[in-house]
Structure 1
Amino acid sequence: MTTPLLELRSVSKRYPVYDGMVLRRQVGAVQAVDNVSMTLMRGETLAIVGETGCGKSTTARLAMRLIEATAGQVFFEGQDITRCTRAEMNPLRKSMQIVFQDPYASLNPRMTVGEILSEPLNVHRVGDAVSRKRRVEELLRLVDLAPYHAERYPHQFSGGQRQRVGIARALALSPKLIVCDEPVSALDVSIQAQIVNLLKDLQHRFDFSYLFISHGLAVVRHIADRVGVMYLGQLVEIGSKQDIYRNPRHPYTQALLAAAPDPNPAARHNVAPVAGDIPSAINPPSGCRFHTRCPMAQDRCKAETPTLREMSTGHQAACHFAEDTPVYEAARHTQHPTPGLLMRQAIYASRRAAA
Structure 2
Amino acid sequence: MSETPVLEVNGLVKHFPVARGVLRRKLIGLVRAVEDVSFEIARGETLALVGESGCGKSTTGRLVLRLMNPTSGSIRFKGEEIANVDKDAMRRMRRHLQIIFQDPYASLNPRMTVGDILREPLNVHEIGDGASRAARVRELLDVVGLQAEHAARYPHQFSGGQRQRIGIARALAVNPDLIVCDEPVSALDVSIQAQIVNLLQNLQQRFGLSYLFIAHDLAVVKHISDRVAVMYLGKLVEIADKKTIYAKPLHPYTQALMAAIPKTDPNLRAKRVMLQGDVPNPFNPPTGCRFHTRCPHAQARCSAEEPVLREAASGHRVACHFFETLPPPVIVARSGPPQGKFAERLAAFEAAKQKQEAMKV
Q: Give the Cα separation in 1 of the matches to 2:38 and 2:111.
A: 40
SS of the residue 1:114 aligns to? helix
Cα offset for 1:319? 0.2
User: What is aligned with 1:62?
Assistant: 63
Q: Give the Cα separation in 1 of the matches to 2:344 and 2:228.
A: 21
Q: Give the Cα separation in 2 of the matches to 1:137 and 1:80.
A: 35
CA contact (8 A) 1:250 1:319 kept: yes
User: What is aligned with 1:353?
Assistant: none
Cα offset for 1:20? 1.2
User: What is aligned with 1:311?
Assistant: 312
Cα offset for 1:239? 0.6
User: What is aligned with 1:77?
Assistant: 78
Distance change (3 Å), C-alpha of 1:133 and 1:191 = same
SS of the residue 2:55 aligns to? coil
Q: Give the Cα separation in 1 of the matches to 2:34 and 2:331.
A: 31
Q: Does 1:134 align with 2:124?
A: no
Cα offset for 1:343? 7.6
Deviations 1:101-143 (A, max 9, x none): 0011000000000000000000001111111011000000101
Distance change (3 Å), C-alpha of 1:224 and 1:330 = farther
The within-5 A match list for 1:170-319 is 170-262=171-263, 267-319=268-320
Q: Give the Cα separation in 1 of the matches to 2:146 and 2:332.
A: 39
CA contact (8 A) 1:261 1:346 kept: no
Q: Give the Cα separation in 2 of the matches to 1:249 and 1:47.
A: 17
Q: Does 1:97 align with 2:98?
A: yes
CA contact (8 A) 2:275 2:296 kept: no
Deviations 1:205-253 (A, max 9, x none): 1001000000110110100000000000000000100111011100000
Q: Give the Cα separation in 2 of the matches to 1:22 and 1:196.
A: 46
Q: Given residue 298 of structure 1, which amino acid in structure 2 is its aligned partner?
A: Q
Q: Give the Cα separation in 1 of the matches to 2:51 and 2:297.
A: 19
Count of aligned positions: 340
User: What is aligned with 2:18?
Assistant: 17
Q: Does 1:2 align with 2:3?
A: yes
Q: Give the Cα separation in 2 of the matches to 1:157 and 1:273.
A: 41
SS of the residue 2:270 aligns to? coil
Distance change (3 Å), C-alpha of 1:156 and 1:23 = closer
TM-score (norm 2): 0.90
Q: Does 1:160 align with 2:161?
A: yes
Deviations 1:39-68 (A, max 9, x none): 111111000000000000001111111110
Q: Give the Cα separation in 2 of the matches to 1:217 and 1:174.
A: 29
What value does the CA root-mean-square deviation take over the aligned residues? 1.9
Distance change (3 Å), C-alpha of 1:32 and 1:259 = same
Q: Give the Cα separation in 2 of the matches to 1:137 and 1:221.
A: 32
CA contact (8 A) 1:176 1:209 kept: yes
Cα offset for 1:265? 7.1
Q: Give the Cα separation in 1 of the matches to 2:35 and 2:247.
A: 27
Distance change (3 Å), C-alpha of 1:23 and 1:124 = closer
Distance change (3 Å), C-alpha of 1:330 and 1:124 = farther
User: What is aligned with 2:322?
Assistant: 321
Q: Give the Cα separation in 1 of the matches to 2:144 and 2:129.
A: 23
User: What is aligned with 2:354?
Assistant: none
SS of the residue 2:324 aligns to? helix
Q: Given residue 112 of structure 2, which amino acid in structure 1 is its aligned partner?
A: M
CA contact (8 A) 1:193 1:342 kept: no
Q: Given residue 61 of structure 1, which amino acid in structure 2 is its aligned partner?
A: R
Cα offset for 1:23? 6.3
Q: Given residue 250 of structure 1, which amino acid in structure 2 is its aligned partner?
A: H
Distance change (3 Å), C-alpha of 1:268 and 1:342 = closer
Cα offset for 1:85? 1.5
Cα offset for 1:328? 2.3
Deviations 1:139-173 (A, max 9, x none): 00101000001011000000000000000000000
CA contact (8 A) 2:262 2:343 kept: no
CA contact (8 A) 2:277 2:294 kept: yes
